[in-house]
Amino acid sequence: MGKEGCQVEPTEEKASRGPARRPRMSEAFALLATAFLLGIVVQHGLAWFGLSSYRSPRNLAVTTGLVVFAAGVAAGWRRRWFRLLASTAFAVPAIVFLTCLSILGTLILQDQPEHVLQGAYGPALVVIDGLFLDDMFHSLGFATVHGLFASGLAMTLALNRKLNIRRAGVMGAHLGILILLAGVAMGAIWGVKGRLNLHTGQSADRFTVDLPGGESAAYPLGFTLQLDDFQLVHYETRNHLEVYDLSTGEPKRLATGLLAPGDESLASFGVRVEGYWPDHYRETVVEPLGMSGAAGATVEVSSPPGRLAAMLARTGTTGNQEQQWVFDDGDPRGGVLSLERGTLHYFWDETRARRFLETVSSAKPSSPHRIVAGEHTFEVSVGEEYPLPGSPYRVEVVRAFNDFIIDPVAHEPANRSTRPNNPAIEVVVKGADGREAGRAWLFARFPSFRHSGEDSVATNLRYEYSDTSNRPEVVAIIAGESSRIWTSLGESPSSWRSFDVGQELRIDRTPLVIQAMHGSVRRTYRNATRSDTANNPVALIRVGGKAEPILLGHGKPLFLDNGNALVMTPEKGGGAVKDYLSTVSVFQDGDRILTRTIEVNDPLEFAGFHVYQTDYRPDDPTFSGFQIVRDPGLWIVYLGFIVTALGVSCSLLLPSLLERKRVLPGVSQGEKP
Q: What does the pLDDT look like over 209-264, one tens digit per residue? A: 877 655 778 889 989 999 999 988 877 777 889 999 887 778 888 898 888 888 88
Per-residue confidence (pLDDT) for residue 362, from 0 to 100: 46
**How sure is the predictor about 460, in pLDDT bands with cuts at 50, 70 and 90?**
confident
Positive or negative: CA dihedral 357, 362, 364, 370: negative
Mean pLDDT of the chain: 79
Q: 16-60: per-residue pLDDT in tens?
A: 444 566 788 888 889 989 999 998 898 888 877 766 544 445 678
DSSP 529: E
Taking 60 as the threshold, does the pLDDT of residue 268 lie above it?
yes
Alpha helix segments (H runs only) across 258-396: 350-359
Domain spans, the chain: 14-160, 194-234+576-630, 239-279+530-570, 284-364+472-524, 369-465
Instruction: Name the residue with higher pLDDT: 118 or 597.
Output: 597
Q: 609-642: per-residue pLDDT in tens?
A: 999 998 888 878 889 999 998 888 777 878 877 8
Q: In whole angstroms, what is the distance from residue 613 CA to residue 11 CA?
A: 64
Per-residue confidence (pLDDT) for residue 328, from 0 to 100: 93
Taking 70 as the threshold, does the pLDDT of residue 274 lie above it?
yes
DSSP state string for 97-161: HHHHHHHHHHHS--S--HHHHHHHHGGGHHHHHHTTGGGGGGSHHHHHHHHHHHHHHHHHHT---
Rounded average pLDDT over 419-441: 86
DSSP state string for 207-233: EEEE-GGG-EEEEEEEEEEEEEEEEEE
Per-residue confidence (pLDDT) for residue 53, from 0 to 100: 47
The residue count of the chain comes to 673
Are the beta carbons of 400 and 424 closer than 8 angstroms? Answer: yes
Per-residue confidence (pLDDT) for residue 585, from 0 to 100: 94
Per-residue confidence (pLDDT) for residue 300, from 0 to 100: 41
Per-residue confidence (pLDDT) for residue 319, from 0 to 100: 62
Q: What are phi and psi of 143, to 5 degrees?
A: -65, -40
Per-residue confidence (pLDDT) for residue 37, from 0 to 100: 92
**How sure is the predictor about 582, in pLDDT bands with cuts at 50, 70 and 90?**
very high
**How sure is the predictor about 658, in pLDDT bands with cuts at 50, 70 and 90?**
low
Rounded average pLDDT over 325-333: 89
**How sure is the predictor about 673, in pLDDT bands with cuts at 50, 70 and 90?**
very low
Per-residue confidence (pLDDT) for residue 162, from 0 to 100: 66
Where b means 16+ CB within 10 Å and e means fewer, 14-27 reads eeeeeeeeebeeee
Instruction: Name the residue with higher pLDDT: 203 or 601.
Output: 203
Instruction: Name the residue with higher pLDDT: 409 or 148.
Output: 148
Instruction: Name the residue with higher pLDDT: 54 or 574.
Output: 574
- Write the CB contacts of 371 (distance below 8 Å, at least 6 apart in sequence): 377, 378, 380, 386, 395, 397, 427, 442, 461, 462, 463, 464
Are the beta carbons of 139 and 40 closer than 8 angstroms? Answer: yes
Taking 80 as the threshold, does the pLDDT of residue 287 lie above it?
yes
Are the beta carbons of 173 and 644 closer than 8 angstroms? Answer: yes
Taking 60 as the threshold, does the pLDDT of residue 442 lie above it?
yes
Per-residue confidence (pLDDT) for residue 345, from 0 to 100: 93
Per-residue confidence (pLDDT) for residue 540, from 0 to 100: 92
Taking 70 as the threshold, does the pLDDT of residue 315 lie above it?
yes
Cβ neighbour number for residue 290 with a 10 Å cutoff:
10
Q: In whole angstroms, what is the distance from residue 110 CA to residue 330 CA?
A: 74
Are the beta carbons of 595 and 585 closer than 8 angstroms? Answer: yes
DSSP 23: P
Q: Is the pTM of this model over 0.85?
A: no
Based on its alpha-carbon atoms, the radius of gyration of the chain, rounded to whole angstroms, reads 41
Rounded average pLDDT over 381-408: 86
Are the beta carbons of 246 and 563 closer than 8 angstroms? Answer: yes
- Write the CB contacts of 458 (distance below 8 Å, at least 6 apart in sequence): 395, 427, 428, 429, 438, 439, 440, 442, 452
Q: What are phi and psi of 182, to 5 degrees?
A: -65, -40
Per-residue confidence (pLDDT) for residue 660, from 0 to 100: 65
- Write the CB contacts of 219 (distance below 8 Å, at least 6 apart in sequence): 192, 194, 206, 207, 208, 209, 628
Cβ neighbour number for residue 283 with a 10 Å cutoff:
12
Q: Where are the beta strands (DSSP E) in 381-491?
A: 385-387, 394-401, 404-406, 413-415, 424-430, 436-443, 451-452, 461-465, 474-479, 484-487
C-alpha to C-alpha distances, 573 to 238, 254, 576, 578, nearest whole angstrom? 9, 21, 6, 10
Q: 84-115: per-residue pLDDT in tens?
A: 888 888 888 888 887 888 788 778 887 677 77
| C-alpha dihedral (493, 496, 501, 507), degrees to nearest 10 | 30
Q: 515-571: per-residue pLDDT in tens?
A: 999 988 988 889 999 888 888 889 999 888 777 888 998 878 888 877 889 998 887
- Write the CB contacts of 266 (distance below 8 Å, at least 6 apart in sequence): 241, 243, 255, 257, 272, 566
